[in-house]
Amino acid sequence: MNLDLKNYTLFLADNALILGQRLGEWCGHGPVLEQDIALTNISLDHLGQSRMLLQYAAKQVGNGATEDSLAFFRNEGEFRNLLITELPNNDWAYTLAKHFLFDTFNFFQYEFLMNSKDETIQAIARKAIKEIAYHAQFSAEWIIRMGDGTEESHQRVQNAIDELWMYTGEMFVADSSSEAMTKAAVAPDYALLKEQWQEKVSQVLEIATLVKPEEGWMQKGGREGKHTEHMGYILAEMQHLPRTYPTAKW
Amino acid sequence: MDKPNDNWKIWEVFIRSKNGLSHKHVGSLHAPDADMAIKNARDVYTRRSEGISIWVVPSEAVTASSPDEKEPLFTPADDKVYRHPTFYEIPSEIGHM
Amino acid sequence: MQIKFVKYPRFIAMGEVQLEKRFQDYLDGENKIEPKDWMPDAYRKTLIRQISQHAHSEVVGMLPEANWISRAPSLRRKVALLAKVQDEAGHGLYLYSAAETLGIDRSELVDDLLSGKAKYSSIFNYPTVSWADMGAIGWLVDGAAIANQVMLCRTSYGPYARAMVRICKEESFHQRQGYEIMLSLANGTAEQKQMAQDALNRWWWPSLMMFGPTDDLSPNSAQSMKWKIKRKSNDELRQEFIDKTVPQAEFLGLTVPDKDLKWNEEKQGYDYGEIDWEEFYNVVKGNGPCNKQRLADRVKAHEAGAWVREAANAYAAKEAKRKADKGQAA
């Protein structure tokens, strides 16, 4: 087994899984039925992508591993998702800002992955890119709507962007597995994605009449399994049934 | 204080299920503008790939033919009275026809 | 334009009574009523009440199941449940949209729900305490709902009937999803089977109550049947549901919690025990285990969403103005 490829596959899978899990929390609680349905669709997209990736990771792991054994029986330190994906939803502004910052990154990431040297990742990326482009469009539009909406919405979304900013640096700093995958042309050069991301984010924030935060100090750790306080709660909830009844089939 | 303006306006949704067919009215939804109405329509009315093309129209922009206030609906037949035998006056001495 | 020709004289002469008679004749001919057609006020009011209650039930009904999205025990189950709860939002939306064709705005209907004035199906005031409840709800609650909804596909009001056709198409996946969960549990470990039996015990009677009071105590039913809004009586629907569901429980190897349940050869249906109507009326009145919690969740979502909806309107207005200004400049 190529350990770097496995780690990298899990990085992609876990981002999608944790985002999908978090977005699922909105289901039934959205600001209006139409948007409740929209967010659930996005959650389903993420979960669908994570399943394909986890199935691929499971194949690499072997020993009877499955998408479910990887989702439900790994410990916190084995999850490789970015910290921004595990942050709570808070309000609509915070959730959409989180997604906007991530989706924009994800779009450029998957744009590269459509030509990844790894055939499975390439195939998954080609399937997922339409969804991912839609997510990026959706969240960017909401940032603009809120930024250029009312005074309250402007303030809320500006605060959210400011608070979330320190979780964006980690997107562009590769861990050793990602680096190896970049060398093998399986993964993009993350440092290079930063420029495209900056440009798009600046453009949207400007249209939204929002202020782009200063670079500042950045959090990191997700890619190496070092997570925020929130991650433990996510896993406690997500994993509790399969772990309580480890021999059960559902 | 005024009630906040948080009520989105209503749109009628039309979907073309496949090329060769015309758009068909499927229902309505709420959205603040046309962009979001289209996106909402996609999420609400095409979750099971029911369509390939969507129209949204603000409901207020639809002009519908309207029966007069007191006029009952059941008019299709009434429009075409010539189809009814009673439309034709037959002298009573001729009897039943 | 102000030019108007004189109305067709015989309609001017036609009074309410004649109109209602023609309306009834029209219904009796199995014709559908459409939004702009004349209809008696009481018919309109009944429909608004029934369709909006139905819509509220779909939306409140999301909550007990949404509880388990984050805890679904496999990824396949998670996406199925999520898609199912999303469908319920869609169904609520189709139904609000049908109610709106009767000349009432969704926001008014939602206000009535949130103030506690409007009712929704009492079944959703029961708690979902185990994963097996996702199975039982899909199988029993959706099963009972489908019995009702299939009938409503033929209801006399066009937009309502069309919404129901759409809903019925989607609901069959829901019931299968639920039954499949029950199957896995019933064929699983001893603990899982116990979980399934426990869920059946808790959901069986409330599911039977979903069809409403017995026919002799259901005062509005007769008029609704006459108007062909309802096409079958509460007791008929309940009987159909029981007859269909009991064999499904047997197939699962689970026991229906009714010691009086017995096949009646003569009527070709099951006899069943007395329903606890005191419990039913108490839950309707607000004394169910989750009435307050469910409504509080809806109120919270609506209030927390106000600034979001407002912001989107404000942005739309600004954009419209920008477009208009640009048009003027050009």
Whether residue A27 lies within 8 A of chain B, CB to CB, comes out as no
pLDDT band at B85 (very low <50, low <70, confident <90, very high): very low
User: What does the pLDDT read at residue C115?
Assistant: 96
Query: How far is the C-alpha of C118 from the C-alpha of C116, rounded, in Å?
Result: 6
Judged against a pLDDT cut of 70, whether residue A53 lies above it is answered with: yes
User: What does the pLDDT read at residue C10?
Assistant: 46
Q: What is the pLDDT of residues C220-252, one digit of tens each?
A: 788 899 999 988 999 999 999 999 999 999 999
Q: Yes or no: say if C159 and C55 are a contact pair by the CB < 8 Å rule.
A: no
User: What does the pLDDT read at residue C172?
Assistant: 82
The token pair at C180 is 């499949």
Burial (CB count <10 Å: 0-12, 13-18, 19+), residue C156: buried
What is the 3-state secondary structure of chain A?
A: CCHHHHHHHHHHHHHHHHHHHHHHCCCCCCCCHHHHHHHHHHHHHHHHHHHHHHHHHHHHHCCCCCHHHHHHCCCHHHCCCCHHHHCCCCCHHHHHHHHHHHHHHHHHHHHHHCCCCCHHHHHHHHHHHHHHHHHHHHHHHHHHHHHCCCHHHHHHHHHHHHHHHHHCHHHHCCCHHHHHHHHCCCCCCHHHHHHHHHHHHHHHHHHCCCCCCCCCCCCCCHHHCCCCHHHHHHHHHHHHHHHHCCCCCC
Query: How far is the C-alpha of C178 from the C-alpha of C141, rounded, in Å?
Result: 9
Mean per-residue pLDDT, B79-93: 53
Q: Which residues pair with C263 in a beta bridge?
A: C270
To which residue do tokens 């349905």 refer?
Answer: A37
State how far residue B9 is from chain A, nearest Cα, in angstroms: 12
Query: How far is the C-alpha of A71 from the C-alpha of A17, rounded, in Å?
Result: 8
User: What does the pLDDT read at residue C9?
Assistant: 45
What's the mean pLDDT when you consider all of chain C? Answer: 93
User: What does the pLDDT read at residue B93?
Assistant: 62
Judged against a pLDDT cut of 70, whether residue B77 lies above it is answered with: no
Cβ distance C69 to A250 less than 8 Å, yes or no, reads no
User: What does the pLDDT read at residue C329?
Assistant: 76
User: What does the pLDDT read at residue B78?
Assistant: 45
User: What does the pLDDT read at residue B50?
Assistant: 83
The token pair at C154 is 């033929």
The token pair at A115 is 């030509």
Query: How far is the C-alpha of C316 from the C-alpha of B61, rounded, in Å?
Result: 17
Mean per-residue pLDDT, C16-43: 90
Judged against a pLDDT cut of 80, whether residue A34 lies above it is answered with: yes
Mean per-residue pLDDT, A27-50: 97
Q: Kind of pairing, strands C262-264 and C269-271?
A: antiparallel
The CA-CA-CA angle for residues A55, A85, A210, to 5°, reads: 140
The superfamily in CATH containing domain A3-244 is Ferritin, core subunit, four-helix bundle (1.20.1260.10)
Q: What are phi and psi of A115, to 5 degrees?
A: -120, 25
Judged against a pLDDT cut of 70, whether residue B90 lies above it is answered with: no
- The rounded percent of chain C whose pLDDT value lies above 70 is 95
Show me where the domains of chain A are located.
3-244
For A209, half-sphere exposure in the C-beta direction (CA atoms, 13 angstrom radius) is: 13
- The rounded percent of chain A whose pLDDT value lies above 70 is 100
What Rg do the C-alpha atoms of chain A give, in angstroms?
18
Q: Which residues, 6 or more positions from B62, have their beta carbon under 8 angstroms from its beta carbon?
A: B12
Q: Yes or no: say if A15 and A85 are a contact pair by the CB < 8 Å rule.
A: yes
Q: What is the pLDDT of residues C130-164, one digit of tens each?
A: 999 999 999 999 999 999 999 999 999 999 999 99
Query: How far is the C-alpha of A21 from the C-alpha of A221, rounded, in Å?
Result: 20
The CA-CA-CA angle for residues C313, C304, A89, to 5°, reads: 105
Q: What is the pLDDT of residues A55-79, one digit of tens each?
A: 999 999 999 999 999 999 999 999 9
Cβ-based contacts of A247 with chain C (< 8 Å): 189
pLDDT band at C5 (very low <50, low <70, confident <90, very high): low
Q: Which long-range contacts (CB under 8 A, 24 or more apart) does C246-253 make?
A: C246/C270, C248/C139, C248/C179, C249/C200, C252/C182, C252/C183, C252/C186, C252/C196, C253/C186, C253/C193
Q: Which residues pair with B58 in a beta bridge?
A: B11
State how far residue C3 is from chain A, nearest Cα, in angstroms: 42
What is the 3-state secondary structure of B33-96?
A: CHHHHHHHHHHHHCCCCCCCEEEEEEHHHCCCCCCCCCCCCCCCCHHHHHHCHHHCCCCHHHCC
Q: Which residues, 6 or more positions from A218, have their beta carbon under 8 angstroms from its beta carbon?
A: A166, A167, A168, A169, A170
Q: Considering only B47-51, C82-86, C105-109, C287-291, which range has the smallest mean pLDDT?
A: B47-51
Alpha helices in C101-117 (DSSP H): 106-114
C interface residues, B as partner, C-beta within 8 Å = 7-8, 11-12, 14, 19, 22-23, 26, 31, 33-34, 36-38, 86-87, 90, 93-94, 97-98, 100-101, 105-107, 162-163, 166, 170, 305-307, 309-310, 312-316, 319-320
Mean per-residue pLDDT, B6-22: 94
Q: Considering only A2-6, A81-85, C230-234, which range has the smallest mean pLDDT?
A: C230-234
Extended beta strands in chain C, E state: 262-264, 269-271
Q: Kind of pairing, strands C262-264 and B24-31?
A: unpaired
Looking at this protein, which amino acid is placed at residue B79? D
Q: Yes or no: say if A86 and A231 are a contact pair by the CB < 8 Å rule.
A: yes
Mean per-residue pLDDT, A130-158: 97
Q: What is the pLDDT of residues A226-246, one digit of tens each?
A: 999 999 999 999 999 999 999
To which residue do tokens 């477009």 refer?
Answer: C323
Of C16 and A201, more confident: A201
Show me where the domains of chain B are located.
9-94
Record the pTM: 0.92
Q: Which residues pair with C51 in a beta bridge?
A: none
Q: What are phi and psi of C212, to 5 degrees?
A: 90, 180
- Name the residue in chain B with its Cα closest to that of A40: B43
Query: How far is the C-alpha of A115 from the C-alpha of C43, rounded, in Å?
Result: 61
Q: B9-94 belongs to which CATH class? A: alpha beta
CA distances from C176 to B38, C91, C277 (A): 31, 18, 29
Judged against a pLDDT cut of 60, whether residue C8 lies above it is answered with: no
Q: Report the residue from A38, A141, A145 with minimal CB separation from B40.
A: A38
Q: Yes or no: say if A25 and A85 are a contact pair by the CB < 8 Å rule.
A: no
Of C50 and C327, more confident: C50
Cβ-based contacts of A141 with chain B (< 8 Å): 35-36
The token pair at C147 is 């019995």
Cβ distance B47 to C90 less than 8 Å, yes or no, reads yes
The token pair at C299 is 């109120």
Of C15 and B67, more confident: C15
Judged against a pLDDT cut of 90, whether residue B68 lies above it is answered with: no
Q: What DSSP designation does C215 have?
A: G
Whether residue B44 lies within 8 A of chain A, CB to CB, comes out as yes
The token pair at C301 is 């979502």
Q: What is the arrangement of strands in the sheet containing B24-31, beginning at the earlier edge strand?
A: B24-31, B9-16, B53-58
Q: What is the pLDDT of residues C166-218, one digit of tens each?
A: 999 888 889 999 999 999 999 999 999 999 999 999 999 999 999 999 998 88
Q: Which residues pair with C269 in a beta bridge?
A: C264
Whether residue B74 lies within 8 A of chain C, CB to CB, comes out as yes
Cβ distance A152 to C311 less than 8 Å, yes or no, reads yes
Chain B with chain C: Cβ pairs closer than 8 A: 85
DSSP element (H, E) containing C265: none
Whether residue B83 lies within 8 A of chain C, CB to CB, comes out as no
Burial (CB count <10 Å: 0-12, 13-18, 19+), residue C298: buried
Cβ distance C74 to A250 less than 8 Å, yes or no, reads yes
Mean per-residue pLDDT, A96-119: 98
